[in-house]
Structure 1
Amino acid sequence: MQKKIGFIGAGNMATAIVNGMLANGACAPQSLFMFDIDKDKLAELCQSRGINACPSAAQVVRACDIIVLAVKPQNYREVLFGLRGAATSEKVFVSIAAGISIAFVTQALGCNCPCVRVMPNTPLLLGEGATALCPSDNIRDEDFQTVYNMFALSGVCEILPESQMNTVIAVNGSSPAYIYLFAKAMVDYAKQEGIEEKAAMRLICATLKGSAKMLEASGDTPDALIQKVSSKGGTTIAALNKLEEAGFYTAIQSAMDSCTKRAQELSQ
């Protein structure tokens, strides 16, 4: 029997997961249920994809086997408290918000429900996501596999212990923003030197994409790949020396540490 999967929240991440499942034929539209406080957005999304719109979050829980909590972290407590009458130990809850622990979800629900803590990232929207998952101890293997597959349809997945789920936010969850900032600095410099923005953007995007493929496919370490681009007294060395002088490497790690600490604060 196919699992019924529900979404509380119809934002970008929920939409990306739904799109991935439907595009790959992983489920029938009739097996998906959704609720959002924005009735117009809910109606448009559900009608365009043939999935079920629910009148309340509690109705999603009652109708489904697996429930994805796709709401903002600051709204989790209120939403979960409102589900107490519908949640049972047979339901599986999936949390995709930063800093929300498995214990927080089960305590707020007032039920020892199976739970999967997930940290996806926004490239999931294009089927190129990187997602970390941590299952609770009481989840059935088949249920966790269903949740895992939901995200694997739109990118790569790694299973981690919950002790690493705050740290991994800095690794995959927030890190697209670091890449965008790096790209912005490069584009702005190119424009400053007279290169058209469109041309600069195309070259930089292709360079980032190609570099990622090299890192993934070559089997070389980052240090080894850096050496292959660099030659003594050359242009790349001049650039790398300036980055080192400016504290580039340390700044990245400091930023990641700040991200992790903020996630830990949200977990309190």
Structure 2
Amino acid sequence: MNKVIGFIGCGNMGGAMIGGIIKASLVTPENIIVGDLNEKKLKKAAERYGVKTTTDNNEVAKNADILILSIKPNSYPAAIKEIKDQVKENVIIVTIAAGKSIKVIEEMFGRKLKVVRVMPNTPALVGEGMAALCPNNKVSKEEIEEVLHIFESFGKGEIVNERLMDVVTSVSGSSPAYVYMFIEAMADAAVLDGMPRSQAYKFAAQAVLGSAKMVLETGRHPGILKDMVCSPGGTTIEAVATLEEKGFRSAVIAAVRSCTKKSREMSE
């Protein structure tokens, strides 16, 4: 990719993206420019990745061919107001803000630009992110692929219709929190039965990691994989029956749908 990638914001997600891009050799470090008001973060990024840094967002906007707004949603209005007259005519704007539709971003810039709305998640920090991408009609197929390659450099990516972005938020963007709660609960039970906490977290987390990998790599339905573990009259089916009795599945479904509902309310 022979383009300059600019970042406004150099927090955890921005850092994960920069690391993934460089590791995958999508562009050289010299072709990445990062803007942030926090000079400590910029120094860390420069030392770790060798990228260009600046405290002037306009410098990033003027140079970037792909501009990634890796800042909090409530910072978008001020940041866009600052840079909107400085961005290149053919720049691709990449947003990662929950609740900010493509239409809202276009209105903030005051004109139609190439916009790709993305919902990533925090496992990007360990190279296992999942991102949903939704481009507007000004983005070409080739440009969509370029942005997709960025997010696939630190996980997986899928193109989705914008109407599904609120669902993506609940099933992917927010869902690591549910999984962490599940791991914590399993570990608490193991500790209750005598296992040291450090071991309990390791066993529980690795079980989740391995199970997820089984779903992705075998392509089998999760229900089939569950049945493979459940021997007749055995320990696993006993645990599954207890989870069903306590409403485990319905609780998860209700939680995910409440998250979708909240995301839709934030988008209105």
Q: Give the TM-score band, short-chain normalised.
A: over 0.9
1:125-164 alignment to 2 at 5 Å? 125-164=125-164
Question: Following TM superposition, by how much is the alpha carbon of 1:195 offset from its aligned partner in structure 2, in angstroms?
Answer: 0.6
Q: Distance in 2 between matches of 1:266 and 1:60?
A: 29
Q: Provide the residue aligned with 2:52 in structure 1.
A: 52
Give the stretch that moved more between structures: 135-144 or 106-115. Answer: 135-144
Match of 2:165 in 1: 165
Does residue 195 (structure 1) correspond to residue 195 (structure 2)? The answer is yes
Equivalent residues in 2 for 1:164-183, closer than 5 Å: 164-183=164-183
What is the aligned partner in structure 1 of residue 33 from structure 2? 33
The alignment partner of 1:6 has SS state of strand
TM-superposed deviation, 1:44: 2.4
Checking the alignment, whether the CA contact within 8 Å between 2:61 and 2:88 is kept in structure 1 is no
1:237 is aligned to 2:244: no
**Whole-angstrom distance in 1 between the partners of 2:21 and 2:88:** 25
Q: Which runs of 5+ in 1 are unaligned?
A: none
* 2:243 is the counterpart of 1:249: no
Shift of 1:205: 2.0
The TM-score, its normalising length taken from structure 1, stands at 0.95
- Map Cα deviations across residues 185-212 of structure 1 (whole Å, 9 max, x no partner): 0111111111111222222222112211
1:126-165 Cα distance to aligned partner (Å, 9 max, x none): 1111111111111123322211110111111111010101
Find the aligned partners of 2:13 and 2:52 in 1 and give their Cα distance. Answer: 18
* Residue 42 (str. 1) matches residue 42 (str. 2): yes
Number of aligned pairs? 268
Please give the per-residue CA displacement for 1:17-46, whole angstroms capped at 9, x wherever unaligned.
110111122111111011112122112212
Q: Distance in 2 between matches of 1:111 and 1:87?
A: 12
8 Å contact from structure 1 (residues 88, 111) kept in 2: no
Tell me what 2:22 maps to. 22
- 1:104 maps to 2:94: no
TM-superposed CA distance for 1:16, in Å, is 0.6
Structure 2: gaps of 5 or more residues = none
Contact 2:99 2:267 in 1 (8 A): yes
Counterpart-to-counterpart distance in 2, 1:119 and 1:72? 13
Identity %: 38
Q: Deviations over 1:104-141 (max 9, x none)?
A: 11110112110001111111111111111111111123
Q: Distance in 2 between matches of 1:182 and 1:213?
A: 17
TM-score (normalised: structure 2): 0.95
**Preserved CA contact (<8 Å) 2:13 2:125:** yes
Structure 1 stretch displaced more, 11-20 or 234-243: 234-243
Separation of aligned partners in 1, 2:161 and 2:70: 21
Distance 1:224 1:144 in 2: 35
